[in-house]
Amino acid sequence: MRIPLLDIQAQLAPIADEVNAAVCRVIASGQYALGPAVAEFESTIAEYTGAKHAIGVSSGTDAILATLMALDVGPGDVVIVPPFTFFATASTVVRLGATPAFVDIDPHSFNIDPNALRTWFTNWKGDKPKAIMPVHLYGQCADIDAILGIANEYDVPVIEDAAQALGASYPGVEGTRHAGTMGLAGTYSFYPTKNLSAIGDAGMIVTNNDALSETLRKLRNHGGTDPYSHTLLGGNFRMDGVQAAALRVKLPHLDRWNDARRANADYYDQRFDDSPVAPPAQSYSREHHCYHQYVISVPEQRDALRAFLTKRKIGSAVYYPEPLHRVPVFESLGYESNSFPVSENAARTVLALPVSPEVTAEMRTHVADTVLNFFD
């Protein structure tokens, strides 16, 4: 049995006719960049997340970049990010001439550790950082109440990198809220492997702040909402109409897809209980996690297990093989090896297994059997 980590065509198949029709309508309309399809999708995302504003952009990376630009992040500024995340969380900071200040993660949730964040602030002697950017890694929210508590104390805005977490939620002091809606702004990615996936690249920013929303609408379109009115130094971060149309067809299915991911995760958790494999720690009850990835920790022989699975046609992946302070392009930031031991250990031990909604009961049984056979 071949079990890919993700089967994009299998997910599309049941709704392909509807997606094709929606895309064809945009093609026939001639309104390809922004336009009514994007505006409609923005309203749907605002409604789904409960955010006041949703601003469609070209990718999750550009969502972060534009948000940092709106905060006027530039040379000499510092933005706090975890080192264990996708490249774009930190590369966007560096592209603006600013410096990412890495704060290590919690070993259980893989999200930025509020205790380490507090220690960072206690020791920091420089200017106030421009932002704190927690990442809701693998689809589980970082501890936002604790992070917002520290951020408010030091008067620093929080931008949530929720690229992996649309459909996840956080049960906090203000009730249960959607990932991405708790800080000043939140950013999503609709890259084809995400839980809600475009047919190419697309992203979204959500915020409750009117002024920020207005600035972002300009920044995504060369600094003006009207043609040739360049009041800000923006870029081309526009969302395509065809992406918005496809995403709008898919969004009503997202909760059901995320439930299927949760059911797969629940099954794996039971099978891996009391085994050499550590199932992912749940910070909150299961319904809050959207399992963008189901990531086990394998303290020994992670790579051998991966090779064993590959040989048996079972997809798996390492997100991420290097923490960001160790990737070549950030060497100039001057971090030594072992600067962030929790992130470095995670990079050596994590392994993502197939958890997508298309993974059937038969498939997940085979995945769990094969993983456990490896340790027999």
Ligand X SMILES: Cc1ncc(COP(=O)(O)O)c(C=O)c1O
Give the binding site for ligand X (CB under 6 A). Answer: 59-61, 85-86, 88-89, 135, 161, 163-164, 189, 191, 201, 203
Q: Is the Cβ of residue 57 or residue 342 nearer to ligand X in the bound state?
A: 57
Q: Is the Cβ of residue 201 or residue 272 nearer to ligand X in the bound state?
A: 201
Q: Is the Cβ of residue 141 or residue 368 nearer to ligand X in the bound state?
A: 141
Q: Who's near 224: CB < 8 A, 6+ residues apart?
A: 218, 230, 231, 232, 234
Residue in this structure with the two tokens 């992406």, named with its chain if needed: 243
Q: Is the Cβ of residue 185 or residue 371 nearer to ligand X in the bound state?
A: 185
Taking the C-alpha atoms of residue 130 and residue 81, their distance in angstroms, rounded to an integer, is 11
Please report how close the Cβ of residue 191 comes to ligand X at its closest, in angstroms.
4
Please report how close the Cβ of residue 56 comes to ligand X at its closest, in angstroms.
12
Dihedral (Cα; 339, 345, 348, 354), 10-degree rounding: -130
Please report how close the Cβ of residue 165 comes to ligand X at its closest, in angstroms.
9
Taking the C-alpha atoms of residue 229 and residue 233, their distance in angstroms, rounded to an integer, is 11
User: Would you report the helix, strand and coil content of the chain in percent, each value rounded to 5?
Assistant: 45, 15, 40
Taking the C-alpha atoms of residue 85 and residue 70, their distance in angstroms, rounded to an integer, is 22
Please report how close the Cβ of residue 5 comes to ligand X at its closest, in angstroms.
14
Q: Which of 26, 45, 48 is nearest to 37 (CA)?
A: 26
Cβ-proximal residue to ligand X, closest one: 60
Token pair listed for 322: 């290097």
Token pair listed for 126: 């420089």
Dihedral (Cα; 158, 53, 73, 88), 10-degree rounding: 80
Q: Is the Cβ of residue 137 or residue 260 nearer to ligand X in the bound state?
A: 137
Please report how close the Cβ of residue 248 comes to ligand X at its closest, in angstroms.
18
Q: Is the Cβ of residue 201 or residue 240 nearer to ligand X in the bound state?
A: 201
Please report how close the Cβ of residue 341 comes to ligand X at its closest, in angstroms.
21
Please report how close the Cβ of residue 311 comes to ligand X at its closest, in angstroms.
28
- The H-or-E segment that residue 41 falls in is helix 36-49
Contact 106, 134 (CB under 8 A): no
Q: Is the Cβ of residue 133 or residue 368 nearer to ligand X in the bound state?
A: 133
Instruction: Calculate Rg over the CA atoms of the chain.
Output: 21
